[in-house]
Chain A
Amino acid sequence: MGNAAIELIGIDKSFGSGHANRNISLKIPAGTIHGIIGENGAGKSTLMSILYGFYQADRGRVCVRGEKAKIETPSDAIALGIGMVHQHFMLVHNFTVLENIILGVEGHSLLGSSISKARSELQRLERDYGLEVDPDAVVEDLPVGLQQRVEILKALYRGAEILILDEPTGVLTPAEADHLFRILRQLKEEGKTIVLITHKLREIMAVTDNVSVMRQGALVATLKTGETTVEELAELMVGRRVLLRVEKGPSAPGEVLLSVTNLSVKDSRGVTMVDDISFDLRAGEIVGIAGVAGNGQSELLETITGIRKAVSGTVTLDGRPIDLTGAADPSELRARGLAHVPEDRHHMGLVLPFDESENSILGYHRQPKYAKGLFLDMDAIRDDAVEKIGKYDIRPPDPRLRTANFSGGNQQKIVLAREMEQDPKVLIVGQPTRGVDVGAIEFIHKRLIEMRDRGKAVLLVSVELDEIRSLSDRILVMCGGRIVGERDATATEGELGLLMAGVDEKEAAE
């Protein structure tokens, strides 16, 4: 280990009554990739925001390269060679790459000369680090992977020697994430120090040298990545043993509950997103749909649940067809036993400014048990919510709290509780654990298995291959809108990965 690039000593920070960072001391050696892992709300981002001058610590001090540093604003941090790539990109959408990069470090009150200087400097950086981006492209036209590259270039342009990345892979596809890790390794070779904040264990194992684990605002351990395991880290993060792979018995498939026949769907641009898909979903089984995001899974989900219009084909629920003209009544589908946990809980699953109790009946609010004459029976609704909160361990256990104030994992539990507690025959689940903590993932997985064991049919769409493999009884792989293969739960990751890319080994062998 070389010298410490950053040393944090006794950092403490509270927001109102919330204690975000408790007496944190941490040394980050220069020229390493240091991971900081913890569940959502563990205080990782707060700690890094203090380092970047976005917040002031209540107590404690920061040393940069062995010297005590006073970081009161982001410009202080920038001057000390600290750069940050934020989780939500700090880019101006209608500016060019070049304009975004010089913002704040224009160098002169007129842009003319500084822009050409910046252009050549940027080209040098792009060459040195293999980070090619067109300097004149408008940021909003770039894919997210490239936008992130602009953020990295922005930090390097400001002379960053220490680069903090906050949940950098949340918006990336697996391939883009791999590319990012290659870039990070290269930056390390160049002598930069990298701090990677994440809640994904795999990323920590893949790219870091050392890892610090945070839990409830405290730093619980700092370990060498090579000397630890995913299981150990997960246990440290959650504070108890976590089952990363759910245990489940063999399935006992019964009658067909959902049947999709020759279904085709086009998107608003007229591009075929679902192409002639047929499959059956039986009682007592979980069918997983794997695939790289954007290969028609979302459209398939939305069509089955009656949200999106189909071009051709039929879907039958328990023997009776579902209206695929886009005019399906969602409450009728619910009454027929179809529950839907949408892929994007913020967009479709919840009304964030509503109370927890209101969200926990949304869509089922017309049921007589929640009504008192023409009005809602608020007492009944709240009692109902309290029951679900207990059963699904939703925290904080407050049915009057605004849904926006719950963490991602607890928001997801609110949606799951609402849909599962209606005791549907068929449960359609999209990305059940996206942005959800390890502890909550385990819980959600157990519930899904429970549903199956009670004889329900579960259709699971996820981009997380691990999740598909550990939960599904049968796996369908989608690529380019078609089902390119069906495997059972014993399929290897490599085999599925190839299928997701559109390569069928079995066919190739024949």
Chain B
Amino acid sequence: MDFFSTLVFLLDSTIRVSVPLLLAALAGLYSERSGVFDIGLEGKMLGGAFAAGAAAAVTGSPWIGLSAAVAIAVFLSLVHGFASITHRGNQIVSGVAINFIAAGSTIILGQAWFSQGGRTPLLGGDARFGAIQLPFAGSLSDVPIIGELYSDLLSGHSLIVYIAFLLVPFTWWVLFRTRFGLRLRAVGENPAAVDTAGISVAWLRYRALICTGILTGLAGTYLALSQNAGFVKDMTAGRGYIALAALIFAKWRPVPVMFACLLFGFLDAFAIRIQGTALPLLGQLPVQFMQALPYILTVILLAGFIGRAEPPRAGGIPYVKER
């Protein structure tokens, strides 16, 4: 196996690992740009993954699994909205509560329904989102470099992977080229300006949270129906938090969010790849160090290299009409 093949292999797994991060980070982008901090990405993803696994296991259809995941994640998002928009509660507390509810209830329901220790039954190929072969992938695979890149790197991913990457330009377009995006950005910076312009702050923020719900549902579906064959307890494993780090790292902008997620995904893929291999000069690195690398990198880069990441100004503050 030459260097090039190794690299393609590494980048291929980078893409696979990055997708749930990317979907979750874009989900967080909608919510946080509207001024609602969302630490509950993790919980919504987990709830979505469980719903997808359970529904697909019962019905055998990945599409029903996806619908269930989106429904559950949107529901959890609306709970967050009800607490933090309608009742002006603390957004961090509400988000953490959603994480706890998701972590606990998925295991309890999983055990009650499927009696497999909190996991959902293993899914067959038909109940999952399988790999899509792009046209000519087979015939081009022998062409050196370009063919290899096309058929091994670009082709052969599940539908959700392509959707996730298409969502990056789409989100940019929504944010900067539509009326909804303009208002969304405005309400995250100065809700009073939106209110006096005759637009409902609450309804705008609810719509942003619905977007967040849909995307976290998609992220959960990817974990349960694409990357794995069913739901496993705690399968999100902190991805919701890494997604938040990526969001901060990218200063709440869609295209940098993609690169941040790819970077974190790459570190993850690299860590798996070099496990047990000795590196020149460094020797064998402990796996924990590699796992910690995305976090360390976030702290270092935020502290010194990319300048201050300034969150949307109204983020975290419930909107109250002033006298």
Chain B residue with minimal CB distance to A76? B198
Partner of A84, one of B182, B196, B323: B196
Please determine whether A106 and B323 come into contact, CB atoms closer than 8 angstroms: no
Encode contact with A along B189-230: 1 for CB under 8 Å, 0 otherwise: 110111111110000000000000000000000000000000
> Interface size on A (CB < 8 Å)?
34
Please determine whether B198 and A75 come into contact, CB atoms closer than 8 angstroms: yes
The A-B contact count (CB < 8 A) is 72
Please determine whether B178 and A90 come into contact, CB atoms closer than 8 angstroms: no
Kindly state the separation between the CA atoms of A91 and B194 in the bound complex, as whole angstroms: 9
Interface size band for B: 20 to 34
> Which residues of B have CB within 8 Å of A108?
179
Is A230 an interface position by the 8 A CB rule?
no
Is B186 an interface position by the 8 A CB rule?
yes
Is A74 an interface position by the 8 A CB rule?
yes
Encode contact with B along A77-101: 1 for CB under 8 Å, 0 otherwise: 1100000101010111111000110
Please determine whether A94 and B189 come into contact, CB atoms closer than 8 angstroms: yes
Please determine whether B179 and A74 come into contact, CB atoms closer than 8 angstroms: no
Is A143 an interface position by the 8 A CB rule?
no
Stretch in A2-10, A109-117, A325-333 with 4+ CB within 8 Å of B: A109-117
Please determine whether A54 and B196 come into contact, CB atoms closer than 8 angstroms: yes
Please determine whether B178 and A109 come into contact, CB atoms closer than 8 angstroms: yes
- Main secondary structure on B side of the interface with A: helix
Is A45 an interface position by the 8 A CB rule?
yes
Is A411 an interface position by the 8 A CB rule?
no
- Assuming the contacts A106-B179, A112-B177, asked whether A92 and B196 have C-beta atoms less than 8 A apart, the reply is no
Kindly state the separation between the CA atoms of A461 and B102 in the bound complex, as whole angstroms: 60
Is B183 an interface position by the 8 A CB rule?
yes
Is A103 an interface position by the 8 A CB rule?
yes
Most buried by B among A91, A92, A105: A92
Is A193 an interface position by the 8 A CB rule?
no
Query: Shortest beta-carbon distance, A154 to chain B, in Å?
Result: 8
Please determine whether A74 and B198 come into contact, CB atoms closer than 8 angstroms: yes
Please determine whether B182 and A103 come into contact, CB atoms closer than 8 angstroms: yes
Kindly state the separation between the CA atoms of A49 and B196 in the bound complex, as whole angstroms: 10
- Assuming the contacts A74-B197, A91-B193, A92-B193, asked whether A103 and B186 have C-beta atoms less than 8 A apart, the reply is yes
* Contact sample, A vs B, 21 pairs, CB 8 Å cutoff: A45-B323, A49-B323, A52-B196, A54-B196, A74-B197, A78-B198, A90-B192, A91-B190, A92-B189, A93-B313, A94-B189, A95-B186, A99-B182, A102-B182, A103-B182, A103-B186, A104-B194, A106-B179, A109-B178, A110-B177, A112-B177
Q: Which 7 A-B pairs have the closest CB atoms?
A: A75-B198, A104-B197, A90-B193, A106-B179, A74-B198, A90-B196, A92-B189
* A residues lining the B interface (CB < 8 Å): 15, 45-46, 49, 52, 54, 73-78, 84, 86, 88, 90-95, 99-100, 102-106, 108-112, 114
Given contacts A46-B323, A103-B183, 18 further A-B contacts (CB under 8 A): A73-B198, A74-B195, A75-B199, A77-B198, A88-B192, A92-B190, A93-B189, A99-B182, A100-B193, A102-B182, A103-B194, A104-B198, A106-B179, A106-B182, A109-B178, A111-B177, A111-B181, A114-B179
